[in-house]
Amino acid sequence: MEQYVIKGGNPLVGEVEIGGAKNAALAILSAAVMTDETVTIENVPNVRDTNVLLNAIEEIGARVERLDAHTVRINGSFIRDFNVDNEFIRKIRASYYLIGALLGKYKRAEVALPGGCNIGGRPIDLHMKGFRALGADVDIKYGLVRAYAEKLTGTHIYLDKVSVGATINIMMAASMAEGKTIIENAAKEPHVVDVANFLNSMGANIRGAGTDVIRIVGVEKLHATEYSIIPDQIEAGTFMLAAAATKGDVTVKNVIPKHLEAISAKLLEIGCEVEEFDDAVRVVASKPLRHTQVTTLPYPGFPTDMQPLLMALLTLAKGHCMISETVFEARFSQAEGLCRMGADIRIAGRRASVFGVERLFGAEVFAKDLRCGAALLCAA
Ligand code: UD1
């Protein structure tokens, strides 16, 4: 098992450069196979999930060339296999984007049921509902999501719940459907916009990404493009909160400050200084932290992916903080480790009460999921 040994107590001071957004990259790498021409993608984060996805794309026949650690060239014209399944792809969440991509282009896809962090039920019913509305037969058998269509036809889709994955997946398939699709109650996250921009740069016709109504007019073919992925707002937020937790002074570079507003606002509220530049944010924490309330919500609300990190930070805030998690039902796994380190946290369903303590102490703790691990690192 991978371990980190951390000697805490030092303020973090300095500058850090943020990489490309993982959650945008996973969708964009999948969408890249939707053209038979060559696509070059820059600012791809070099992390496990993107590498697993690239290997899976290669396994079904696409040509994948890694030009450097963060640049990939993909050609999807050699794909002959529509079945994506291996022991690694089963573990990642974003394998589901290959359903939308392959279904859009080839009208068929068989993809291993998505895995991902254990933070609740994480169904994919909305993705399936969207594909069915476009005219596909979709079922789950033998551990695969299987989708087939004679043809896809544009339609009106209302998402019962705001879902990033379903919005992007339906948007991809609809890009190559016949006619016009309207997605209502769409997710507005920056990476939804990034994927739409990427598809549009390949010749798709998508309007309204970033609002809750997305309109897509299907096209027959997509073409070559060169595209650079947006910075990762969660990676940036992680460093911002780590600066605050260690009473540090960190400038987070290569970010889009607008995407970080919910995080900046919380930091200001609890007594940190946040300075915004064109493509950087500086966080200085010199005063004691004040208490706050936070509710996770889809963008532009406070991101659920930052909630574990914020909890780590608030263990040191003066007074009683209340955290409500409205997006995923089981996303307080970091609390156990934080309590081992001396935090005072009480959980009741989707709400957590955090009573500030003077300091945390080193302990052996276990990261149960990705953001839980980041929260524990931050606390440590
Ligand atoms: C993506 C991100 C994840 C982030 C989350 C919310 C990736 C790979 N992961 O996850 O880091 O925490 O967005 O910003 O991009 N839901 C359904 N049915 C569905 C789909 C979703 O009920 O078919 C529910 C989920 O259980 C959850 C909510 O909708 O309660 C939002 O989920 P969604 O936005 O789809 O998250 P993911 O795409 O899984």
Q: Which segments of the chain are extended strands (E)?
A: 13-17, 38-42, 63-68, 71-75, 83-84, 108-112, 137-141, 144-148, 156-158, 180-184, 205-207, 213-217, 225-228, 249-253, 273-276, 280-284, 293-295, 320-324, 344-348, 351-355
Minimum CA distance residue for ligand 1 atom 31: 163
Mean pLDDT of 361-372: 94
Which strand (E) or helix (H) includes residue 270?
Answer: none
Binning pLDDT at 50, 70 and 90, where does residue 105 land?
A: very high
Question: Strand, coil or helix: what is 83?
Answer: strand
Residue 261 tokens, joined: 């507003």
- 121-163: pLDDT as tens digits: 678 999 999 999 999 999 999 889 999 999 999 999 999 999 9
Ligand 1 centre and the CA of 100: distance in Å? 15
CA–CA separation, 30 vs 99, rounded Å?
A: 9
pLDDT in tens, 278-326: 999 999 999 999 999 999 999 999 999 999 999 999 999 999 999 999 9
For the segment 37-45, the average pLDDT, to the nearest whole number, is: 98
pLDDT digits (tens, 9 = 90+) for 322-364: 999 999 887 899 999 999 999 999 999 999 999 999 999 999 9
pLDDT band for position 202 (cuts 50, 70, 90):
very high
d(CA 141, CA 116): 19
Report phi then psi at 212, rounded to 5: -90, 5
Residue 48 in contact with ligand 1 by CB distance below 6 A: no
| 117 catalytically annotated | yes
Taking CA atoms only, the protein residue closest to ligand 1 atom 35 is: 163
pLDDT of residue 336: 96
Residue of 26, 132, 161, 171 to mutate, ligand 1, most atoms within 8 A of C-beta: 161
Q: For residue 123, what pLDDT is reported?
A: 85
Q: Give the per-residue pLDDT at 118.
A: 67
CB of 160 closer than 6 A to ligand 1?
no
- Tens digits of per-residue pLDDT, 238-257? 999 999 999 999 999 999 99
pLDDT in tens, 301-314: 999 999 999 999 99
Atom from ligand 1 closest to the CA of residue 23: 15
* Distance from Cα 123 to the centre of ligand 1, integer Å: 8
Residue 319: the pLDDT is 95
Residue 119: its pLDDT value, please?
60
With a 6 Å cutoff on the Cβ, whether 124 touches ligand 1 is: yes
Distance in angstroms (rounded) separating the CA atoms of residues 236 and 81: 37
Q: What phi, psi does 95 have (nearest 5°)?
A: -55, -25
Can you tell me which atom of ligand 1 is nearest the CA of 125?
23
**What span, in angstroms and rounded, lies between the C-alpha atoms of 93 and 245?**
29
pTM: 0.95
Mapped onto helix, strand or coil, the DSSP state of residue 249 is strand
Q: Which pLDDT score, from 0 to 100, does residue 296 have?
A: 97
Distance (Å, whole) CA 208 – CA 206:
7
N-to-C CA span, the chain = 18
Residue 96 CA, ligand 1 centroid: distance in Å: 11
163 lines ligand 1 (CB under 6 A): yes
Q: What is the pLDDT of residues 161-191, one digit of tens each?
A: 999 999 999 999 999 999 999 999 999 999 9
Q: Is the per-residue pLDDT at 93 higher than 90?
A: no
Cis preceding-peptide flag for 190 (omega within 30 of 0)? no
Instruction: Please state, for a pLDDT cut of 90, what percent of the chain lies above it.
Output: 90
- The model's pLDDT over 13-40, given as tens digits with 9 standing for 90+, comes to 999 999 999 999 999 999 999 999 999 9
The protein residue with its alpha carbon nearest to ligand 1, atom 26, reads 122
Nearest one of 6, 101, 57 to 360, comparing CA atoms: 6
Torsion sign across C-alpha atoms 327, 333, 338, 343: positive
SS3 52: helix
Q: What integer pLDDT is reported at residue 117 of this predicted model?
A: 66
Stated length of the chain? 380
CA torsion angle for 345, 295, 254, 238 (degrees, to 10)? Answer: 10
Integer Cα distance of 284 and 314 in angstroms: 16
CA of 221 to the centre of ligand 1 (A): 29
Report the percent of the chain where pLDDT is more than 70: 98
Average pLDDT for 198-214: 98
pLDDT score of 90 more than 90: no
Please report the pLDDT score of residue 1 as a whole number: 78
The residue-averaged pLDDT of 265-275 equals 97
